[in-house]
A and B are shown apart, each in its own frame.
Chain A
Amino acid sequence: MRKLLVIIRREYLGRLRTKGFVISSLLGPIIMIGFTVVPGLLISMRTGGATKIAVVDLTGKMYEGVRESILTPRKDEDGERKNPPTQMEAAPDREAQMSQVSKALGAHYEVEQVTAGGRSVDEIKNELNARVRKGELGVYIVLPEKILEEGRAEYYGRNVSDPITTSQLRHSLNRAVIEQRLREANIDQNRVRELSKEIVLETTKVSEGGLERDSGGGFGLAMFVGLFIYMAILMYGQLILSSVVEEKTTRVSEVLFSSVKPFHLMLGKLAGVALVAITQYLIWAVAFGAFALYGVSMLASRGMDVPLPRLPLSFAVYALLFFVVGFLMYATIYLIVAAMVTTEKEAGQMALPVIFLSVISIYLAFPVIRNPNSSFAFWISIAPFFSPITMLVRIVTETPPFWQIALSLGIGLASVVFFVWVASRIYRVGMLMYGKSASLPEVVRWLRQS
């Protein structure tokens, strides 16, 4: 037992001190921020000051409404979205989201009116085109006389592929035109808005513990855990592999086997690398948490709604437990393959069973979510390799009795121990006997003999 701890400590501390670990710990959050924030920032970044917009109002009555509409935030968006949007709701209009982003991040406009003053439309356009070319003007809009009937306006600018400005202007014009139409038809706009308010579907989960509000984020999070297991395995499985193979190629294994049981050696490696993975994830979680808090509060202070899934604490605990068990389970595949090969190159195809099994468990989650208490769901949620994702899906949909969760975890851990035993067996017999890579039939034979 003491020797097992010695092995775990070497695997753990040895890896923590490597440059690779330090770099990936630092790089992880940076990449995460890079992928989530930077694109948004770049798109909505306003290089230079406010965009100058000239409005050529040929109707003679629209300018004030349009100006107001461009300069003020959209009233119909604010105030009605009291409930945070969730995955279960229809995806919010992308353009609306985008204008929200740009508003939150400080996009702004200056509006000026261009009066005809006796000139023809073409003359005005020529003059404005010149100003756009000189950069004095960002955009100009022509509101034709029949805009209320035909619903068409013209947009001129140097850059017509900027999605934020065009979509925002389209929305603003749209609103101004609708308001004008309503006004001319003598209909009260506030009344219209009140009557066309959308409904919100509130989902509530009926579980043994009572009623819980569930926004549906639970299922997403179960998938998220699955994804995390998968990512962790792809990152750290390689570490397990190289750690075992290194001892084979350097021949340290023979010295080790004269001191410790192969089972302890393999278990120590698995536990050591798992601790490294957990440490790294914790570092990332703290970094991400800090970033999320900062980011959410920053966006919230600019008037943006940020949807946060609300989940019971018990689910977080289960998610953590199944993450750990799932990681260990999939990692044993690497352990077994590492025991079979003599060089890392030969292990090239080894990610295949890992990918295969994890993809299957994600597909299995769908029948489970529709029928979480069927016997199919029961068996699949205690089966090794499938249980981490499918049991989590059952927990968030219709939480099964506690004994089933405990059974699933128990079987998971037992299979980890079993596979470690298998790996240590293959390692010892295979390497010492032949010093070559093992084929599958050979492995089966070795497992049977002592």
Chain B
Amino acid sequence: MSENGVTLALDRVSKRFDEFVAVDELSLEVRAGRIFGLIGPNGAGKTTTIRMIVNILVPDSGRIELFGEQMSGRLQDRIGYLPEERGLYKKMRVGDQLRYFGELKGLSSREAETRLDRWLERLKLSEWKNHKTDELSKGMQQKIQFIATVMHEPDLLILDEVFSGLDPVNAELMKDVLLELKAERRTIIFSTHMMSQAEELCDDICLINRSHKVLEGSLREVKSSFGRRAVALRAEGGDGALKDARLVAGVKSYGDYVEVELAEGADAQELLHRLVEGGARITRFEQVEPSLHDIFLQKVGEGA
């Protein structure tokens, strides 16, 4: 972990393939011990960015610093990378396979063996150790792949769509493990297009679209700076207040409640006050934060 708390820094990094610009002048910082969400639609440049971070691709221009050092093959051993497209040797036994991946990350054969035993136990897969990988279910293979990513105790974990293919029980198990790793001050980059997952886990996010960064910051900042202020309201009567254009920009009906979008400069307290004055019976009045989903849709939609 570097001293200033920044694990990874990208400085105006670009990558083009022939005429196609995959990543354009991307700068971002990932702080130590936090979960960083790299989000964006398909084809935005997420995977290319990640491949540059793990040193599979070399940027055409710009600089990547990891743990305060210029990125190089030597640093690869301190990264754990779970690609979106999973890859395991089908005909290899689970144990042999994990030992091999561990050794490729610099573990000794014996060290790899003890760690993979521990992890198989932890993820309830011990009995499968001597089975060939293609005898395992998709979800189990997913967990094996995860072990291969974390068994060498990397300081930086890069997880691309880590929950895909997992049932709710296993997804929960995986979430626990991730939070544990975070508690150990490991940095996690979490790439997904499932906004609800990002919202649940990430401390910071970076939204990229069409090879550009669109949005960056802590989840909290992003949400509050994102000035779409709305109120979820369930009330009987007091309709007059909702028709005041100085207060309300629009009303959307969602079955048993309505979502009221506040007008520019209007205050939610003012609306509440007016509703009560108007004699409304209020059973729900809640200031709604924009969901990451909404932000995503709006930002990506803007670009389109």
Contact = CB atoms under 8 A, between A and B. Distances in A.
A257 interface: yes
Q: Which of A246, A255, A260, A434 has the most CB of B within 10 A?
A: A255
Contacts of B73: 261
B81 interface: yes
A246 B77 CA distance: 24
Given A246-B89, A250-B89, A259 B17 contact: no
B57 A255 contact: no
A250 B87 contact: yes
Interface string A145-176: 00000000000000000000000000000000
B105 interface: yes
Contact of A253 (B17, B57, B87, B103): B87
Given A258-B56, A433-B17, A251 B85 contact: yes
A258 B76 contact: yes
Interface string B28-60: 000000000000000000000001001111100
A428 interface: yes
Q: Which of B55, B56, B73, B83 has the most CB of A within 10 A?
A: B56
Given A257-B56, A432-B56, A252 B87 contact: yes
Contact of B81 (A253, A255, A432): A255
Contacts of A259: 76-77, 101, 104-105
Interface string B65-87: 00000000100110101010111
Contacts, number: 60
Nearest to B104: A259
B154 to A, nearest CB: 10
Contacts of A10: 100
A255 B51 CA distance: 10
A252 B88 contact: yes
A259 B158 CA distance: 13
Nearest to A265: B104
Interface residues of B, number: 28
B162 to A, nearest CB: 14
Given A428-B56, A432-B51, A433-B17, A6 B89 contact: no
B202 to A, nearest CB: 22
A206 interface: no
Contacts of B106: 2-3
A14 interface: yes
Given A6-B104, A10-B100, A254 B79 contact: no
A346 interface: no
Interface in B133-180: 145, 148
A14 B57 CA distance: 29
B276 interface: no
A252 B57 contact: no
A290 interface: no
A247 interface: yes
A10 B85 CA distance: 23
B92 interface: yes
B87 A255 contact: yes
B57 A3 contact: no
Nearest to A6: B103
A10 B57 CA distance: 25
B246 interface: no
A280 B261 CA distance: 76
A256 interface: yes
Nearest to B79: A258
A41 B117 CA distance: 58
B124 interface: no
Nearest to A2: B106
Contacts of B17: 433-434
A254 B56 contact: yes
A439 interface: no
A258 B90 contact: no
A268 to B, nearest CB: 10
B57 A432 contact: yes
A126 interface: no
Contacts of A253: 87
A148 B79 CA distance: 97
B55 A247 contact: no
A348 B53 CA distance: 36
A7 B105 CA distance: 12
A450 interface: yes
B90 A255 contact: no
Contacts of B51: 432
Q: Which of B103, B106, B145 has the most CB of A within 10 A?
A: B103
Contact of A251 (B56, B81, B87): B87
Contact of A255 (B58, B83, B92): B83
A259 B92 CA distance: 19
A258 B88 contact: no
Nearest to A10: B100
Nearest to B17: A433
Interface string A1-41: 01100110010001000000000000000000000000000
Contact of A254 (B55, B77, B83): B83
A253 B101 CA distance: 12
- The list of the 10 closest CB pairs from A to B, nearest first, reads A251-B87, A252-B87, A258-B81, A259-B104, A258-B54, A251-B85, A254-B83, A6-B103, A257-B56, A250-B87
Interface of A: 2-3, 6-7, 10, 14, 246-247, 250-261, 428, 432-434, 450
Given A250-B89, A251-B86, 20 more contacts: A6-B103, A14-B92, A246-B89, A247-B87, A247-B89, A250-B90, A251-B83, A251-B87, A252-B89, A253-B87, A254-B87, A255-B83, A255-B101, A257-B56, A258-B79, A258-B81, A259-B76, A259-B77, A261-B73, A432-B56
14 contacts: A3-B103, A3-B104, A3-B106, A14-B92, A251-B85, A253-B87, A255-B83, A255-B87, A255-B145, A255-B148, A258-B76, A258-B79, A259-B105, A432-B56
Interface of B: 17, 51, 54-58, 73, 76-77, 79, 81, 83, 85-90, 92, 100-101, 103-106, 145, 148
